[in-house]
Structures are given as structure tokens and as C-alpha cells.
Amino acid sequence: KAGVTQTPRYLIKTRGQQVTLSCSPISGHRSVSWYQQTPGQGLQFLFEYFSETQRNKGNFPGRFSGRQFSNSRSEMNVSTLELGDSALYLCASSLANLGDGYTFGSGTRLTVV
Amino acid sequence: EDQVTQSPEALRLQEGESSSLNCSYTVSGLRGLFWYRQDPGKGPEFLFTLYSAGEEKEKERLKATLTKKESFLHITAPKPEDSATYLCAVGGGRRALTFGSGTRLQVQP
């Protein structure tokens, strides 16, 4: 069965621009979560969507936003990019609840120059 | 606030040399303790979920155990292909995973 698909795999953007990342969860999975991974901070939770509603949010500024569509696909958007936003952005899907376990995608490597 | 501390930061083993990785945690309302393996440039790959103290799970050369304060990932007779970063995470009351910083394991032939 297909895993979690994230596009694009790599992205280079300039400071001040905005970016949209996409995530297609495993078929049947209704929960999609986003994480940022950096060498200094490790994996940090951004937000979680379930049935098109944001169910939980981490401690990131409002420049980071997301949404989920009726087919469970999700997008995250970062506006006014800063150099510190350079990171691996990971999407994870699960059936419904945290205890179901997450399956991660391969991530989108964002570089801000 | 949920917290996860993993040790050691890095571990180098010879092929066949068994060892254990540690994950200490504090969490309000444990919903699960998760172990993942991450290879360079890839997303974390799910290994195990443990839900209550005393629980153990095994998969090939890996065995995960859980107490009320920590979890261990035991690696028996490792092979070079076991080289990766092993991540521990807890799911708690805030409905999100809190990850540790990981243990980088290198197994030399």
C-alpha cells in the first residue's frame, strides 16, 4: 500500500518569499500532522489536522499555517520566510488518534537563502 | 510539559556487539511511547509502540521495553545495516509527539 507522499522533495526559496508544501496521507488515515526537523532543535510539532479541522497546534509563529482537504490531503504554508526556517518538514499520518501510531513521509527539505 | 531525553548521543559498535539505548521521559497521561529509526535524508520509520510499564516488543534484532520512567531499545548482535539514528517519542496529553534528540548508532563490520 502507498505510504505518505510529500512534495516537493527539495525546495530553495529566498528570504521574504512564501512556500507551500503538500502531503498525501495513507489511504484511510484521517489525521495528518506536520513536524519541523533541524539539527539544533530536533523534531518539533507544528500542527495536526483531523477531518479538515486543526485539532492541535505547536509553538510556532503565525507565519506557519496549514489546512486539510476533504480527501485528507494536507498543505502547510510558511509566509515571509526567514533563514531559520531552513529545515526538513515532515508530514505524518495516522488512522485517527495518537495511540494509533504515525507513519512519516520522506519530508521536504526547505533551504532559505 | 512532556520531556524526552535519549542517551547516549552517539554509539559505535562492532558487528555482533550487543548494546542498549536509553530513553528517559516525563509525560502527563502517557498515550504511547514510540521508537523510530531514521536514515539520513529520510523520514522516521516506525519500529514499536509501547503503552504500559512492563510491556516488551521485539522485531528481528531489536527489543523495546518500558518502565514508568524510561524505555530501552536493546540491539542484539547488530549488523552494519542497523546503522541509523534511533528516535524515541512520547504521546501525552497535548495530543502530539514529543521527540528526544536521538541516538546515532554506527555498526562497523
The pLDDT tens digits for B53-80 are 999 999 999 999 999 999 999 999 999 9
- Name the average pLDDT for chain B: 95
Question: Which residues in A lie closer than 8 A to residue B46 (C-beta atoms)?
Answer: 101-104
pLDDT of residue B79: 98
In angstroms, the CA A31 to CA A29 distance is 6
A32-88, pLDDT tens digit by residue?
999 999 998 999 999 999 999 999 999 999 999 999 999 999 999 999 999 999 999
- Going by C-alpha positions, the residue among B59, B57, B69, B60 that lies closest to residue B22 is B69
List, as one string, the DSSP characters of B14-74: ETT--EEEEEEEE-SS--EEEEEEE-TTS--EEEEEE-STT-EEEETTEEEEE-SSEEEEE
Size of interface A-B (CB pairs under 8 A): 61
Q: Is the Cα dihedral B96, A26, A99, B44 positive or negative?
A: negative
**Which H or E run contains A91?**
strand A87-94
pLDDT of residue B95: 72
Q: With cut-offs at 50, 70 and 90, classify the pLDDT of residue A109.
A: very high
B33-42, pLDDT tens digit by residue?
999 999 998 9
B84-96, pLDDT tens digit by residue?
999 999 988 777 8
B5-41, pLDDT tens digit by residue?
999 999 999 999 999 999 999 998 888 999 999 999 8
Mutation target vs A (from B90, B99, B103; most A CBs, 10 A cutoff): B99
pLDDT of residue B31: 87
Question: Which residues in B lie closer than 8 A to residue A38 (C-beta atoms)?
Answer: none
Any residues with CB less than 8 A from the CB of B18 and at least 6 apart, and which? B74, B75, B76, B77, B78
Question: Which residues in B lie closer than 8 A to residue A45 (C-beta atoms)?
Answer: 96-98
Nearest Cα residue in chain B from A4: B43
The arithmetic mean of pLDDT across residues A84-110, rounded, is 90
Give the count of alpha carbons within 13 A of A11, CB side only.
25
Question: Which residues in B lie closer than 8 A to residue A55 (C-beta atoms)?
Answer: 95
pLDDT of residue B29: 86
Contact check, Cβ <8 Å, A43/B97: yes
